[in-house]
Every structure is written in C-alpha cells, then in structure tokens.
Amino acid sequence: MTREKMIKKIKFLAKEAKLRIQYKMAKDCIFCKIVKGEIKSAPVYQTDTVMAINDINPVAASHVLIFPKRHIDSVLTVKKGDGEALEDMFAVAQKLISERRLEAFRLAFNGGRYQHVPHLHMHLVAGSTIKWSQL
C-alpha cells in the first residue's frame, strides 16, 4: 500500500470512529431520552427546538435546565450551524426570566470535568442563595 493510500485509510478510520462515538453518546444520552419521552420528566416549557426542565438536584430555589432537543455534546463542540439552537435557548431563558419576574439570576454552562451530562445545557438559577459550588 502506498503512503498516500495508508494516510487516506487512517483518516477514514478516524472519521468512522468519531461518528461511532458521537452516535453512542446521542443514543445513551439522558437528555436525548428525556426529549424522546423514554425518561419521564415534567417540562417547565418547550418549543419545537428547545426543552426546559427543573433540575432534579436544585442548587437554588429556582433551577431550570435549558437544552436543545437536537443533541450537541458541549460548548466545546458548538459550531456555526448550531446558532439557531443557541438563539432558541436564550429565547426560552428570557421568557422564563420574564414570566417568573426574576430580578437576579445566573445563566451557566459547565464544561470539561464540571459537565456531567454530555448534552449541551444551560443552567438558569435564581432565588435564594445559590450553592454555586454544587452547580
């Protein structure tokens, strides 16, 4: 096999492996399962593209998770075509902040070792003292 052919084959195998990992993450992803209704949840609000649910382990009086229905791994994998999903997430956050008349709030994305659910999500926390270290 020529050097060029070998490089082409390695690139192909790497691409395949990446796709397999992405597929596995989406398949086993807890938030994807919530979107599909395979795990029960009581959505606080949802649109065609975004879901908002109460955090199961709240760190403040109000703790909502806002995430795109389409699987995106994390802030590290957000790319150009994802803009609309992000806009929709912020629109949902704005709606909840306004409806709940939240005068002080925090919006946070965790990443790296701080991120436990590998599906992009925004924390909307407000109310009593925020246990920031637990977020």
Interface residues with ligand AMP (CB under 6 A)? 30, 41, 53, 55-57, 65, 110, 115-117
- Type of residue found at 21: I
Q: Give the interface size with Zn ion as a residue count (CB under 5 A).
A: 5
- Tell me the CA end-to-end span of the chain in Å, nearest whole number: 52
Q: Which of 63, 71, 119, 121 is catalytic?
A: 121
Determine, following the binding rule CB under 5 A, whether residue 32 of this chain makes contact with Zn ion.
yes
Task: Write down the least CB distance from residue 65 to ligand AMP, Å.
Answer: 6
What sign results for the dihedral spanned by CA atoms 83, 76, 45, 38? positive
Tell me the C-alpha distance between 99 and 91, whole Å. Answer: 12
Of the candidate residues 63, 119, 121, 123, the single one contacting Zn ion (CB under 5 A) = 119
Determine, following the binding rule CB under 5 A, whether residue 78 of this chain makes contact with Zn ion.
no
Of the candidate residues 31, 60, 66, 123, the single one contacting Zn ion (CB under 5 A) = 31
CA distances from 62 to 15, 42, 69, 124 (A): 41, 15, 22, 8
- Nearer to ligand AMP by Cβ, of 6 and 76: the residue is 76
Determine, following the binding rule CB under 5 A, whether residue 29 of this chain makes contact with Zn ion.
yes
Task: Write down the least CB distance from residue 73 to ligand AMP, Å.
Answer: 11
Whether 121 is catalytic is yes
The edge-to-edge listing of strands for the beta sheet with 122-126 is 43-46, 50-54, 62-68, 122-126, 105-108
